[in-house]
């Protein structure tokens, strides 16, 4: 039997765990890399349109917008994403809560889990983070991803969920 704590009905959102603090840094790095590409493309547009009389945008506008978007998504949003991401493993459900503007609360019945993955990309590997991917029965949007976990925690959760699945089928 998985080691989980039971909560009163309707009280799933109490005692939710935050993600690992390095998740913020990983998200910032990924957003800054994407923003760097956006800034580079805007600079290419500005440089190639310096001598054109008919420009689609005034010089520097595209680059300025790209810089603002990069700072917004590279610095501000990762902090907000981290602030509102929480999870908990209960007796028979995995509970996730996230969302800056739209709050999403997901309850994954453990009996619906088909299989589990733990993955790391190259940036997450540097911070020893991983993500737990829970594949549930269903067709569309049937995968639930829990990002920003300490890699050992991701593997521990996977094993705990696996044990529940194996015991439930007996």
Query: Is residue 6's pLDDT more than 60?
Result: no
In Å, what is the CA distance from 170 to each residue of 1, 134, 164, 165? Answer: 12, 21, 10, 9
Whether 136 contacts 143, CB under 8 Å = yes
CA 154 and chain centroid, separation = 13
Nearest to 13 by CA among 111, 86, 70, 102: 86
pLDDT, tens digit, for every residue of 70-106? Answer: 999 999 999 999 999 999 998 889 999 999 999 999 9
Query: Is residue 8's pLDDT more than 50?
Result: no
Alpha-carbon span 67 to 73, nearest angstrom: 10
Query: Is residue 10's pLDDT more than 90?
Result: no
Alpha-carbon span 158 to 107, nearest angstrom: 16
pLDDT, tens digit, for every residue of 113-164? Answer: 989 999 999 999 999 999 999 998 877 677 899 999 999 999 999 999 999 8
Q: What is the pLDDT of residue 12?
A: 59
Q: What is the pLDDT of residue 1?
A: 37
Q: What is the pLDDT of residue 55?
A: 79
Q: What is the pLDDT of residue 138?
A: 75
Residue 118's φ and ψ, nearest 5 degrees, are -120, 125
What is the Cα gyration radius of the chain? 21
pLDDT, tens digit, for every residue of 11-23? Answer: 655 689 999 999 9
Strands (DSSP E) contained in 17-150 are 17-18, 86-89, 93-98, 104-109, 113-119, 129-136, 143-150
Nearest to 131 by CA among 85, 166, 75: 85
In Å, what is the CA distance from 162 to each residue of 39, 112, 158? Answer: 44, 12, 6
Query: Is residue 5's pLDDT more than 60?
Result: no
């Amino acid at each position: 039997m998985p080691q989980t704590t039971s909560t009163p009905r309707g009280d799933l959102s109490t005692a939710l765990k935050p993600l690992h603090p390095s998740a913020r840094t990983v998200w910032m790095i990924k957003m800054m890399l994407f923003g760097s590409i956006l800034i580079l493309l805007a600079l290419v547009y500005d440089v190639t349109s310096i001598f054109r009389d008919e420009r689609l945008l005034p010089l520097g506008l595209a680059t300025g917008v790209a810089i603002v978007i990069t700072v917004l998504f590279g610095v501000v949003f990762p902090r907000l994403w981290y602030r509102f991401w929480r999870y908990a493993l209960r007796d028979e459900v995995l509970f996730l809560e996230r969302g800056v503007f739209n709050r999403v609360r997901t309850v994954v019945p453990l009996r619906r889990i088909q299989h589990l993955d733990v993955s790391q990309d190259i940036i997450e590997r540097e911070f020893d983070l991983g993500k737990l991917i829970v594949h549930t029965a269903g067709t569309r949007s049937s995968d639930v991803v829990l990002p920003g976990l300490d890699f050992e925690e991701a593997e521990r959760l996977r094993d705990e969920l696996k044990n529940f699945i194996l015991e439930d089928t007996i």
